[in-house]
């Protein structure tokens, strides 16, 4: 099987997409948030590689083409934002404060937890960009001297958790305004969380998409400052 992977250009991508499709079917049939399609795809792909003794480099050679779609997919989130531009203008101050608060809260929480668990500077800067999109987070982690591979994993896990619990958190804290929902979800769990925001509504999706871009920029600007705190 490993040799077949090595000789196939796109088999890694095919396996990833197939398992994602399985996740979508499970989510549709079982209606449970825990069956997030991305989470299901990750777990099934890992199991597949272990069962057939395929190393990550071999798998990545065929799956890397999916990564090329990450940036244009993120940029495409500007479309629903454009459609809700009037809503953005009406709530500009609240949106700005919400995004800034979300970014600062994320970084402060990482600082507190790293000190609480006795982690070092390298681990701290590795976790610092956990709530922004992978494309930006990788660059932030690398520039600060963190472990980029772990940063990617943490960003994905953060997004999946946000996707799973977003609706429940909004219900518990009685967050009902669509703009507030979108800003909260996007600033906390980037693109993966935004897919949940889009399920909740057009305004939620648009505001969440805006949060991805602005949270990423703000994190880049503040990461260097926060990195000095530990």
- Please, are residues 179 and 95 in contact by the beta-carbon 8 Å criterion? yes
* Helical axes 148-172 vs 134-144, angle rounded to 10°: 130
Q: What are the tokens at 34?
A: 């825990």
Asked if residues 115 and 137 have their Cβ atoms less than 8 Å apart, the reply is: no
Q: Give the pLDDT of residue 6.
A: 60
Closest CA to 71 of 182, 213, 188, 205: 213
Provide the whole-model pTM: 0.85
Alpha helix stretches (DSSP H) within 68-200: 70-75, 78-83, 85-90, 92-116, 121-127, 134-144, 148-172, 178-200
- Of 166, 175, 172, 171, nearest to 198 by C-alpha is 166
Structure confidence at residue 105 (pLDDT): 95
Domain boundaries along the sequence of the chain: 2-67, 78-227
pLDDT of residue 160: 92
Residue corresponding to tokens 């929902």: 181
Backbone angles phi, psi at 76, to 5 degrees: -65, -20
Predicted pLDDT of residue 141: 95
Rounded CA gap, 208 and 95, in Å? 10
Q: What is residue 75's predicted lDDT score, i.e. its pLDDT?
A: 76
Tokens (6 digits) for 12: 């890694």
Digitized pLDDT (tens) for each residue of the chain, 230 residues in all: 556 666 677 888 889 999 999 999 999 998 888 888 988 999 999 999 898 888 888 888 888 888 788 778 777 777 877 888 888 888 999 999 999 999 999 999 999 999 999 999 999 999 999 999 888 899 999 999 999 989 999 999 999 999 999 999 999 999 999 999 999 999 999 888 998 999 999 899 999 998 988 999 999 999 999 999 98
Q: How many helices (H) and strands (E) does the chain have?
A: 13, 0
- Which residue, among 205, 187, 210, has the nearest Cα to 195 in the 3D structure? 205
């Amino acid at each position: 099987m490993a040799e077949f992977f090595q000789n196939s250009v796109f088999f890694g991508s095919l396996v990833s997409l197939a398992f994602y499709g399985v996740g979508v079917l499970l989510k549709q049939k079982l209606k449970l948030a825990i069956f997030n399609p991305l989470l299901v795809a990750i777990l099934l792909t890992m199991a597949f590689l272990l069962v057939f003794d395929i190393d990550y480099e071999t798998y990545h050679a065929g799956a890397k083409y999916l990564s090329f779609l990450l940036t244009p997919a993120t940029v495409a989130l500007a479309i629903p934002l454009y459609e809700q531009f009037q809503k953005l203008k009406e709530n500009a101050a609240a949106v700005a404060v919400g995004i800034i608060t979300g970014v600062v809260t994320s970084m402060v929480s990482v600082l507190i937890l790293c000190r609480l668990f006795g982690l070092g500077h390298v681990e701290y800067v590795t976790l610092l960009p956990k709530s922004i999109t992978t494309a930006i987070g990788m660059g932030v982690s690398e520039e600060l001297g963190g472990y980029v591979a772990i940063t990617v994993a943490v960003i994905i896990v953060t997004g999946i958790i946000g996707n799973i619990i977003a609706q429940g958190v909004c219900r518990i804290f009685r967050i009902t305004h669509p703009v507030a929902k979108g800003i909260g979800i996007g600033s906390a769990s980037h693109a993966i969380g935004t897919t949940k925001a889009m399920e909740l509504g057009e305004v939620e999706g648009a505001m969440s998409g805006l949060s991805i871009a602005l949270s990423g920029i703000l994190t880049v600007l503040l990461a260097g400052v926060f990195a000095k705190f530990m």
